Amino acid sequence: MNDQPIPRRIRVDQMTTAELAIRDTIAVVERAGAHPLLTDAVTLLGQAQAKVADYVDAHSIEHDIKLLATKHGVVLTPGMVRDMASFFTAQPGKR
């Protein structure tokens, strides 16, 4: 059994309005038919949705880092917060 939580970005109930709009657009393009250009469009839309999710996840983590720092009386510069958020959102092999 896997104890890892389900990532927010694949839970429809936790997606932002922007992520849902891209998801809906992908569905519309997929219904348009089969063509290499449409396949490319779906791929690019999927990449766009992932970038929006990256942004949302990073800013959520930045918010959590700021709250923890404040709670423990630690002063962090904006750059330090960004660096910490980048570390926690990086792919495991890229840390």
pLDDT grade, residue 71 (50/70/90)? confident
- The total number of structural domains in the chain stands at 1
pLDDT recorded at residue 92: 65
In a domain, 7, yes or no: no
Which residue did the predictor score with more confidence, 86 or 20? 20
In a domain, 66, yes or no: yes
Could you give the CA distance from residue 21 to residue 23 in angstroms, rounded to a whole number? 5
3-state helix, strand, coil in the chain (%, to 5): 75, 0, 25
Residue 95, pLDDT above cutoff 70: no
In a domain, 4, yes or no: no
In a domain, 6, yes or no: no
Domain limits for position 81: 15-94
- CA-derived radius of gyration, the chain: 17
Indicate the pTM of the whole model.
0.69
Residue 36, pLDDT above cutoff 90: yes
In a domain, 53, yes or no: yes
In a domain, 21, yes or no: yes
DSSP class of 10: G
